[in-house]
Structure 1
Amino acid sequence: MTIPRVLRTGSFRLAALYALLFGLSTGLLFGIVYWIATDSLREQLRLSLDSELAALQEVAGGSGGLAPEIARRIASNGAQPFYYALQDAGGRQIAGDLPKLPEEPGLQRLVLPEALTERDRPGAPDEPETVLLVLARRLDDGRLLSVALDTFRMTEAQEAIVRAFAWAAAAGLMLALLGGVLLSQGFLRRIDELNRAIRVIMGGHLSERIQTGGSGDELEELGRNLNEMLDRLEASMEGLKQVSNDIAHDLRTPLSRLKQRLEAVQQEETASREDYEAAVSDALEQANTALATFSALLRIAQIESGSRRANFAELDLSALLDQLAMTYAPVAEDLDRSLAARIEPGIGLRGDRELLTQLFVNLIENALRHTPAGTRIELALARDGTDLLAEVSDDGPGIPAAEREKVFRRFYRLETSRSTPGSGLGLSLVGAVAALHGIEITVGDNRPGLKVVLRFPEAGAP
């Protein structure tokens, strides 16, 4: 037999488990209440018997006869009558109507194999047997005086408690199972919607998103996380597509030029040795350019994979930037530019020294390459509360505001930079290294010129 799907869901099983726990707790509560109520009712019967017996003992100690008093009380019994018995020292009954005589004093339970009549038990149900609670005491003259009460009232209370808990347990179980079914149906609807969206996405529609209703539960959080993952996946796929197009576009020209150059030399009948050497030299230069591009792409991919985090170590960033400033200051001077440094000492952090060096080298060389003669470039590092800020700025032509968010794309180059050497991957590598180290990087206006601000997550001692 196939179990309905709604009964196989985790939510229904959880509801069934809660129903079972509710049933167990109800059973435990029933046992406690039943025991306390039974003990209380039994104690009330004992107190009634004790009070009645004490009253009869006072009569026995007085001038009146005990047997006539017992007969009078039997005749005037109310809705729940007492049963009496007076026995002599030999156990022979002298007076009373107790159907079964006790054999010794004390509180005891007598079971009669037959039911008392309705006349003897007014309002009591017909039952196959009768249970009496008897209290017997020995009088000073050796006689045994007994007083008894029918326990059917206590039995009725016990049965009422059992019925109440049975109905409560049944109602609670039914409500729990009904709630489990309703909860499971709602859960299945949301899971089906989730599976539908995933199937659409698996079909290649990466723009599909999982509907979230704002309930704030675990499935809502799962949907939001999946949507965020899909946003990143879609952006990665778009980036991959853009990279593929850019690679095809940027490598097609040098490879075509290389092919045309080699074919031209091959077809030229009067080509000299010098022509072949020039063609080979040009081919090597074009091949090196292509290989450098692929090497940069592989390096960026390696950085973005996060594998370089294994090389993180404590380093003195201030000393590193001081060294770069001293290295590139003569280079800038040779290019008719100036490089100034404003570096606060003693700033350290944890990172990959080689990659951070490459990051600042690319920023400095980018400023040297794309600014005119006479430009002033500045390299700065300072603490900003618990964070630290590094800046590479210049007073050159800068970058238009609309282009600043695009400069970290692979192969992206401004129109004004098309004539300068390069593959357009330098700032892409800067972005990858910054992401690896958790650095927030901002490209802004230096008024005039360009300012690249890097905010490191925390500053610590080297």
Structure 2
Amino acid sequence: MNLPRLVRTSSFRLTLLYAGLTGLSFLLLFAVIFWSTTEFMQKQIDTTIKAEIKEIRNGAADDSLQSLRRVVQASTEQSPGFFYLLQDRAGNVLAGNLPKLEPIVDVREWTGANRLPEFQNIDIRGLGLDAGEGGYLFVGMNAHQVQEMRESVARSFLWGFGAAMLLALLGGAAMSLSVLRRIEGVSQTSRDIVGGDLQRRIPLNGSGDEFDHLAGSLNAMLDRIQVLMDGLRQVSTDIAHDLRTPLTRLRQRLELAQERPTDAQALHATLGASLSGIDAILQTFSALLRIAQVESGARKASFTHVDLSELLHTIAEVYQPAFEEKSQTLLEQIAPDLAVTGDRELLTQLFANLVENATRHCPADARVALIAASSAAGVSVAVSDNGPGIPAHMREKVLQRFVRLDASRSTPGNGLGLSMAAAIASLHEADWQMTDNAPGLRISVTIPAVNK
């Protein structure tokens, strides 16, 4: 992984920003420590000097220059750590170990390049004041410790600053490298998927961080895309399989009508059968388009308040003649005032498909129950029968398009009824369950109730 790409990463730039803020904090801390320690040591020196000046004044018999001269001379000989100067009004040195100075009454300091010519290797800090009779008294100390402290603080800061910046850069590089590796994993997975390997997924490192969370979401999206792609391939295959037979029969019927001399009545019958076959094919395509529309969620915009009790009673009334024709029994147990939010037309098709499937696939004298009642989760509607049922291993599969238990396709239908019903239930966020009715099948749909 090349260095320019590493430096251009947002994580490395963020690290540089934090490093800059850390360096600024270091400078501020250094300034505070440098100023506070220097101030403390200078105050210590000034306090000591003031005490020494007080001793000199107390040792003098009076405030005359002669009395101060004797005390300053004695102090110069007895206190080698101090620097003394006593000069008269004319600037003549009367006592001490310093050369003539300009009589400035204040704290004075000679350090670094500003040292006195006679003391080029010594830092001096002291206090000057009037000595009476126009004289001038100065008492100072060696301030080398202050300078050493300054150099020590500066040296420590430079080492600490350098180490902090180095660690920040190394940490930023390591963090950026880790981020780049994770991103490269996502990029490589994307390239593999684009190359045709739809089974590839983004690796997770198990840390549970934001990258793992993002990778999990992307993997879930890829799983969904793969399911849709598999479904699309399956639908394409099923369309080709299911429509090939009726189209072939239609062509054969038309060929026979063309080759054989027939009367008008026979030709009319052939055209009628052909039109019925074409209608069945168009009905299949219409059902596919309707399922796609439902699954897209576009119909949610038309959701309104639906009186489900009245809707189910209507469906039972419409299908009652079909049950009577097959000597079957339709039992109704529909609670009153059941209401949901949804698309009335789609809900009608959902429950009509379930009732129609029950009567179509059950033998004569079968019993079918249409039960609807309120529940904690909403409104539950169940259609149960005592017919042949659906094997447990096929209950999920029959919800796919064109899947039928009658593999020979000898019975009417296109295998889209349950697919449409399941799609409508999903659109209404309903809970769909297919269970064994022992004997027969029970399909229950629980739709969220209307919020009151």
TM over 0.5: yes
- 5+ residue gaps in structure 2? none
Describe how 1:52-451 pairs up with structure 2 within 5 A. 52-60=52-60, 65-77=67-79, 81-88=81-88, 92-99=92-99, 101=101, 103-109=103-109, 115=115, 132-138=124-130, 144-269=136-261, 271-329=262-320, 331-415=322-406, 418-451=409-442
Preserved contact between residue 371 and residue 396 of structure 1 (Cα < 8 Å): yes
Is the contact made by 1:110 and 1:134 (CA closer than 8 Å) also made in structure 2?
no
Q: In 2, distance between residues paired with 1:353 and 1:109?
A: 97
CA distance change for structure 1 residues 423 and 82 in 2, over 3 Å: closer, same or farther? same
Query: Shift in Å at residue 380 of structure 1?
Result: 3.2
Percent identity of paired positions between Structure 1 and Structure 2: 43
Matches within 5 A, 1:42-61: 42-60=42-60
Which stretch has the larger CA shift, 231-240 or 291-300?
231-240
- Give how far 1:331 is off: 4.7
Distance apart, 1:77 and its partner CA: 3.4
Given that residues 110 and 131 in structure 1 are in contact (C-alpha distance below 8 angstroms), is that contact kept between their aligned partners in structure 2? Answer: yes
Root-mean-square deviation over aligned CA pairs: 3.1
Distance in 2, matches of 1:289 and 1:262, equals 16
CA displacement at 1:267 relative to structure 2: 0.5
Contact 2:341–2:449 (8 Å) recurs in 1: no
Three-state SS of the structure 2 residue aligned to 1:135 is strand
The CA deviation string for residues 111-139 of structure 1, in whole angstroms up to 9 with x for no partner, is: 69664699x6xxxxx76xx6643323446
Deviations 1:33-59 (A, max 9, x none): 223223323332332233333333332
Deviation at 1:444, TM superposition (A): 0.8
Q: Specify the SS of the correspondent of 2:450.
A: coil
1:207-237 Cα offsets, whole Å, 9 max, x none, are 2223222132333333322322222222222
Tell me if structure 2 keeps the 8 A contact 1:88–1:143.
yes
What residue identity is the alignment partner of 1:221? Answer: H
Give the conservation status (yes or no) of the 8 Å contact 1:346–1:461: no
Q: CA deviation at 1:201?
A: 1.5
Task: Please give the per-residue CA displacement for 1:165-185, whole angstroms capped at 9, x wherever unaligned.
Answer: 211111111122222333333
Structure 1 CA distance for aligned equivalents of residues 43 and 308 of structure 2: 86
Look up the match of 1:461: 451
In the superposition, relative to structure 1, how do residues 117 and 408 fare at CA in structure 2: closer, same or farther (>3 Å)?
Answer: same
In structure 2, what is the Cα distance between the partners aligned to 1:346 and 1:149?
Answer: 103
Bigger CA drift: 414-423 or 205-214? 414-423
Q: Note if contact 2:87-2:100 (Cα within 8 Å) is conserved in structure 1.
A: no
Q: TM-score, normalising length from structure 1?
A: 0.86
Using the alignment, how far apart are the partners of 1:131 and 1:405 within structure 2? 94
With the length of structure 2 as denominator, give the TM-score of the two structures: 0.88
- The alpha carbon displacement at 1:369 in A equals 1.6
Q: Return the alpha-carbon distance in structure 2 between the equivalents of residues 215 and 272 of structure 1.
A: 81
Contact map agreement 1:136 1:145 (CA 8 A) in 2: yes
Q: Is the Cα–Cα contact under 8 Å of residues 110 and 116 in structure 2 kept in the other structure?
A: no
CA offsets 1:288-343 (integer angstroms, 9 cap, x no match): 00000000101111122222222233444444334434544555445433333444
Read off the aligned partner of 1:185 and give its amino acid letter: L
Worse-matched range after superposition: 30-39 or 252-261: 30-39
Distance between the aligned counterparts of 2:10 and 2:449, measured in 1?
Answer: 48
